[in-house]
Amino acid sequence: MRFRRPVNGHRWACGLVLLGLLVWWIDAQSEKEIALVIGEPYEDMRQRSSASIASAIPAEVSFNIPKSDARLRFVDPKFGFVTPAARFFAIFYRDDRIGSVRMSPQIEPLLLDDILKVALDLQEQWRQGGWVPTLPNEFPPIADTPQWRVNLRDVRRGGTTYWQAGDQYQVMMVVHRFKDYRHPTQERYLITLGIGKPWVKP
């Protein structure tokens, strides 16, 4: 007696394997994000975000970093904005609630033209969302002008600006030169963002 090979079952199993690989590949290619708002429960952020991040330590003051590069999606319905993907990204919390964020919204140090594009895009999102500059005479918004380029190229100066969303949030953006040993002949730059409750008064 001859037994037929279970061809259909074999094909079905292969199909499941291929489907699993496809799902894994799509997930690997998609940009991860941390989606949060200042003051919310830490666990709400974890459940909403596609990037993996460790749980908070109960009743502690500490911080965690995502386990992969991730962009920030600030999910306040009025003051929301989105950053490019970041490699340096720290979420600080106290008593299981998010207190502040510190990050550099880029994967590597960028050339001056590219860093200005990132800075100007973020400022435009803030402006459209109702954020306003804090102390604009002392810390004016960053602009793509000859004088700003001179300031940013000066390693002793750089640029700092503060933006505020009513009495709810404030963001500090610092742009400065960075010595990148992978590109020793190029001028490279970093942006540092600090986001939290307002701490610099208008």
Q: b/e map of 25-59 (b: 16 or more CB within 10 Å)?
A: eeeeeeebbbbbbbeeebebbbeebbbebeebeee
Per-residue pLDDT of 155-174, as tens digits, reads 899 999 999 999 999 999 99
Read off the pLDDT band of 24 (50, 70, 90).
very low
Q: pLDDT at position 183, please?
A: 83
pLDDT at 4 over 80: no
Q: pLDDT at position 168, please?
A: 97
Q: Taking the complete model, does pTM exceed 0.75, yes or no? A: yes
Specify whether the CB–CB gap between 39 and 100 falls below 8 A.
Answer: no
CA torsion angle 191 192 194 199 (round to 10): -90
Q: pLDDT at position 17, please?
A: 47
Per-residue pLDDT of 104-157, as tens digits, reads 999 999 999 999 999 999 999 999 999 999 999 999 999 999 999 999 999 899
Residue 100: both structure tokens together: 């502040």
Question: What DSSP character marks residue 145?
Answer: S
**162 CA to centre of own chain:** 17
Per-residue pLDDT of 58-111, as tens digits, reads 999 999 999 999 999 999 999 999 999 999 999 999 999 999 999 999 999 999
Read off the pLDDT band of 2 (50, 70, 90).
low
Q: pLDDT at position 28, please?
A: 43
Q: pLDDT at position 25, please?
A: 40
Read off the pLDDT band of 201 (50, 70, 90).
confident
Q: pLDDT at position 5, please?
A: 53
Per-residue pLDDT of 171-185, as tens digits, reads 999 999 998 888 888
Q: pLDDT at position 97, please?
A: 97
